[in-house]
């Protein structure tokens, strides 16, 4: 079984987020995960925000978060292979391109997109993409 994951899922897994257990459960076992390469930068940016809010504490804590290992079964896909379709989808949905990158990958692969982005999930309601994006089980 495979799935696409976004930065909200990785960030939750790497921090004290209450949803972290659900995020980490996605890559336990034999599940193959996929994401656009931009997931690395987006996750690092989210960790920076986490630090700025003083949630993370000391700079060493942030280095620890940034030094975490990505799931071994996470395959990164070239952004340039997704961006054209993501831009078209972003215009159609009136939603940010970077979120649409994950959606395009999920649709291309016929896999679910796991995200904690409730806004994206709501945005897809009533469209042909309804049900593609969902909150990780658990």
* pLDDT score of 80: 96
Q: How far is CA 94 from the centre of its chain?
A: 19
Compute the mean pLDDT over every residue in the chain, rounded to the nearest whole number. Answer: 87
DSSP secondary-structure letter at 115?
Answer: -
Q: Give the number of other Cβ atoms within 10 Å of residue 113's Cβ.
A: 28
Q: Identify the residue with better confidence: 57 or 2.
A: 2
pLDDT over threshold 90, residue 33? yes
Gap between the Cα atoms of 50 and 57, Å rounded: 9
Share of the chain above pLDDT 70, in %: 86
pLDDT digits (tens, 9 = 90+) for 63-118: 565 555 666 678 999 999 999 999 999 999 999 999 999 999 999 999 999 999 99
Phi, psi torsion values for 113, nearest 5 degrees: -105, 115
Query: Which residues, other chains included, contact 1 with Cβ-Cβ below 8 Å and sequence gap of 6+?
Result: 30, 31, 32
pLDDT over threshold 70, residue 17? yes
Gap between the Cα atoms of 116 and 10, Å rounded: 10
* pLDDT score of 62: 57
Contact of 135 with 119, CB cutoff 8 Å: no
For residue 73, what are the β-bridge partners?
none
Report all structural domains of the chain as residue ranges with CATH numbers, in order of start: 2-134 (3.40.50.1010)
For residue 114, what are the β-bridge partners?
5, 134
Contact of 15 with 50, CB cutoff 8 Å: yes
């Amino acid at each position: 079984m495979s799935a696409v994951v976004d930065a909200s899922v990785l960030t939750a897994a790497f921090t004290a987020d209450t949803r972290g257990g659900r995020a980490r459960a996605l890559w336990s076992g034999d599940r193959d995960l996929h994401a656009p390469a931009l997931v690395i930068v987006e996750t690092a940016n989210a960790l920076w925000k986490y630090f700025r809010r003083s949630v993370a504490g000391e700079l060493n804590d942030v280095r620890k978060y940034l030094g975490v290992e990505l799931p071994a079964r996470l395959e990164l896909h070239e952004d340039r292979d997704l961006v054209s379709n993501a831009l078209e989808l972003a215009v159609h949905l009136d939603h940010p391109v970077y979120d649409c990158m994950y959606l395009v990958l999920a649709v291309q692969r016929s896999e679910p997109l796991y995200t904690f982005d409730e806004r994206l999930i709501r945005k897809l309601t009533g469209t042909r993409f309804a049900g593609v994006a969902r909150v990780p089980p658990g």
